[in-house]
């Protein structure tokens, strides 16, 4: 490593303090990996009322976060991630004392523009107050998009550079023009080369335009977002900034996601003790009162129930799945139409189909451990972590060949015995069903299936490798 850097990683969710998806996993696991490389990395996030389960002590470090335009002062709490990485939590009851992170019952909180404008400003104020002058501020997703702009107005940060990571371009933080006042930003920024996005103020666009470098969470997604199909209207900006745009595949935190040590599953197992996986399977059969044959494969999905995740393909494959000798478990929350669909299906076929419409980390581990296959028919997938966790648990992924799924899953070949899953090239019912059939026929050949499971379990996707790439990217950002 060339130089030990001071890095501040900013995120709206960080595991184990608050989580809705992969952003939290990355924000909780990348910093310890960077610390192990010798960097002085610290993390900062809002302090919601929901993270009680983190089981971590949080100390009020007596700092006032007084931001112009906001009547209520904030406070700063401190705790630790793994490897003693300091994490700061910004408390401000008016904006963060909520049951959820972004919204409730399928609707965003109406004051998200205030909540995250405040957050972006409070992050900088907090860094100054604790006298932590970072070389790099690593911003993540739209909630942090205004930081590169605010930074430019404060000479204390004159030497600080910014890296903006896109975890999902589909969520942009676009608000009516009138909300410019709330951000405290100058009206002169409201134009095409600034933060205007089709008549709205866009936090995502601010991040894309004003940070020194850009990263996204897989090499394939870094290319895909430069196309009209997956650019969500931002493709022009991303094309213009392509010299500064990098794709780094996320890693897996094997201290959390390892079937050999996982305390959340009923039996630990590894590639040399695959028979123990059967106990995890039996646990699921019991828990969901399934009635299966000995060789009925259990398919699962652990996911946000949103259009992005290709739930409509599962709906289209319903007849086939009902006909075949398979079982399907869904753990997820999200759009009402999908919840209704799964609720109804599992009522009709309670012997085979089970649905848990909630966010439940520990159940996620149990389902992954006891299932035979994971379905990820995502329309787009910036990285996807669940398929990488599944590999380690010997649960074979069947995925749409897109984004991070493209980079992390290799099609299994019966001939060569190489590969770790099954991929279909286009998100349409026939391709999906074909891929499923391939997987099911392979499942019937016990020895071949075990080989396939072991291929996945042997793959090392640990954060160490990705953290080294981030480390190089930070150095590059400093030179930019």
Burial readout 14-36 (b: 16 or more C-beta within 10 A, e: otherwise): bbbbbbebbbbbbbbbbbbbbbe
Count of residues touching ligand ADP (by CB under 6 A): 18
Q: Which residue has the tokens 């107005």?
A: 153
Backbone φ, ψ for residue 468 (5° rounding): -65, -40
Instruction: Give the span between the Cα atoms of 22 and 318, in whole angstroms.
Output: 27
DSSP letter, residue 276: G
Q: Cβ closer to ligand ADP: 22 or 173? A: 22
Question: For the window 13-42, what string marks contact with ligand ADP as x by the rule CB under 6 A?
Answer: --------xxx-x-----------------
* Minimum distance from residue 206 beta carbon to ligand ADP (Å): 22
When asked if residue 302 is in the footprint of ligand ADP (CB under 6 A), the reply is yes
Smallest separation, CB 262 to ligand ADP (Å): 13
- Stretch near ligand ADP under the rule CB under 6 A, chosen from 131-139, 272-280, 381-389, 394-402: 381-389
Is 359 a residue that touches ligand ADP (CB under 6 A)? yes
Q: Is 333 in the site for ligand ADP (CB under 6 A)?
A: yes
| Least spacing, CB of residue 21 vs ligand ADP, in Å | 3
**For ligand ADP, the closer CB: 23 or 87:** 23
374: closest CA among 341, 408, 349?
A: 408
- Cβ proximity to ligand ADP: between 116 and 342 the closer is 342
* 304 in contact with ligand ADP (CB under 6 A): yes
Question: Among residues 29 and 209, whose Cβ is nearest to ligand ADP?
Answer: 29
Strand partners, 328: 299, 353
* Contact of 76 with 129, CB cutoff 8 Å: yes
Closer CB to ligand ADP, 25 or 91, in the complex:
25
Name which of 88 and 393 has its Cβ closer to ligand ADP. Answer: 393
Cβ proximity to ligand ADP, 264 vs 458, nearer residue = 264
Residue with the shortest CB distance to ligand ADP:
22
Alpha helix ranges (H) inside 349-462? 361-370, 386-392, 403-408, 429-443, 446-458
Task: Give the span between the Cα atoms of 429 and 312, in whole angstroms.
Answer: 9
Q: Answer for the pair 98, 50: CB distance below 8 angstroms, yes or no.
A: yes
Q: Is 364 in the site for ligand ADP (CB under 6 A)?
A: yes
> Per CB under 6 A, which of residues 114..173 are in contact with ligand ADP?
none
Q: Which is nearer to ligand ADP, 167 or 277 (CB)?
A: 167
Cα–Cα distance measured from residue 182 to residue 418, given in angstroms and rounded to the nearest whole number: 55
Query: Which residue's CB is nearer to ligand ADP, number 174 or number 303?
Result: 303
Q: How far is CA 389 from CA 198, 235, 384, 466, in A?
A: 38, 30, 10, 16
**Using rule CB under 6 A, residue 386 touches ligand ADP:** yes
| Phi-psi label, residue 74: left if phi above 0, alpha if psi -120 to 50, beta otherwise | beta
Asked if 303 interacts with ligand ADP (CB under 6 A), we say yes
Among 90, 166, 180, 385, binds ligand ADP (CB under 6 A): 385
User: Strands (DSSP E) along 159-258, which ranges?
Assistant: 161-166, 174-176, 196-197, 200-202, 213-216, 245-247
| Angle between helical axes of 463-479 and 22-36 (0-180°, round to 10) | 80
| Residue 355 contacts ligand ADP per CB under 6 A | no
Q: Which two tokens stand for residue 442?
A: 């392979």
Among 332, 370, 394, 403, binds ligand ADP (CB under 6 A): 332
The residue within the footprint of ligand ADP, chosen from 80, 94, 108, 361 (CB under 6 A), is 361
Q: Does 224 bind ligand ADP (CB under 6 A)?
A: no
**CA 212 – CA 41 distance, rounded (Å):** 19
Which residues of this protein are in contact with ligand ADP, per CB under 6 A?
21-23, 25, 302-304, 331-333, 359-361, 364, 383-386
């Amino acid at each position: 490593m060339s130089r030990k850097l001071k890095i501040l990683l900013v995120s709206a969710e960080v595991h184990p303090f608050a989580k809705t998806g992969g952003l939290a996993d990355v924000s909780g696991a990348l910093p310890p990996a960077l610390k192990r490389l010798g960097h002085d990395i610290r993390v900062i996030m809002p302090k919601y009322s929901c993270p009680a389960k983190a089981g971590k002590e949080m100390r009020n470090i007596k700092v006032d976060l007084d931001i112009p335009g906001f009547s209520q002062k904030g406070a700063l709490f401190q705790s630790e991630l793994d490897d003693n990485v300091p994490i700061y939590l910004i408390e401000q009851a008016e904006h963060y004392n909520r049951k959820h992170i972004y919204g409730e019952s399928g609707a965003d909180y109406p004051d998200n523009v205030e909540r995250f404008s405040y957050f972006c400003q409070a992050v900088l104020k907090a860094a100054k107050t604790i006298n932590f002058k970072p070389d790099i501020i690593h911003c993540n997703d739209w909630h942090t998009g205004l930081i590169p702009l605010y930074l430019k107005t404060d000479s204390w940060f004159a030497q600080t550079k910014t890296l903006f990571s896109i975890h999902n371009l589909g969520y942009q933080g676009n608000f009516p023009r009138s909300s410019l006042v709330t951000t405290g930003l100058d009206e002169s920024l409201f134009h095409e080369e600034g933060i205007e996005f089709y008549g709205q103020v866009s936090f995502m666009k601010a991040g894309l335009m004003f940070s020194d470098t850009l990263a996204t969470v897989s090499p394939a997604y870094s290319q895909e977002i430069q196309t009209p199909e997956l650019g969500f209207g931002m493709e022009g900006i991303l094309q213009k900034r392509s010299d500064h745009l990098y794709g780094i595949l996320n890693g897996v935190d094997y201290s959390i996601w390892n079937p050999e040590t996982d305390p959340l599953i009923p039996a630990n197992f590894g590639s040399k003790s695959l028979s123990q996986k059967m106990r995890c399977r039996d646990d699921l059969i019991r828990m969901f009162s399934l009635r299966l044959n000995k060789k009925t494969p259990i398919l699962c999905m652990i996911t946000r129930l949103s259009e992005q995740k290709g739930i409509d393909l599962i709906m289209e494959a319903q007849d086939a799945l009902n006909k075949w000798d398979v079982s399907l478990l869904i753990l997820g929350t999200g759009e009402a139409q999908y919840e209704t669909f799964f609720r109804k299906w599992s009522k009709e076929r309670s012997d085979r189909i089970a649905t848990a419409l909630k966010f439940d980390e520990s159940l996620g581990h149990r389902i992954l451990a006891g299932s035979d296959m994971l379905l990820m028919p995502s329309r787009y997938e910036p990285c996807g972590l669940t398929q990488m966790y599944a590999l380690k648990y010997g649960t074979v992924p069947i995925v749409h060949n897109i984004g991070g799924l493209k980079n992390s899953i290799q099609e299994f070949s019966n001939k060569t015995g190489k590969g770790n899953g099954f991929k279909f090239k286009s998100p349409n019912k026939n391709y999906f069903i074909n891929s499923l059939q391939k997987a099911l026929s392979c499942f019937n050949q016990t020895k071949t299936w075990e080989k396939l499971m072991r291929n996945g379990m042997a793959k090392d996707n640990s954060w160490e490798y990705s953290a080294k790439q981030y480390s190089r990217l930070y150095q590059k950002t400093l030179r930019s």
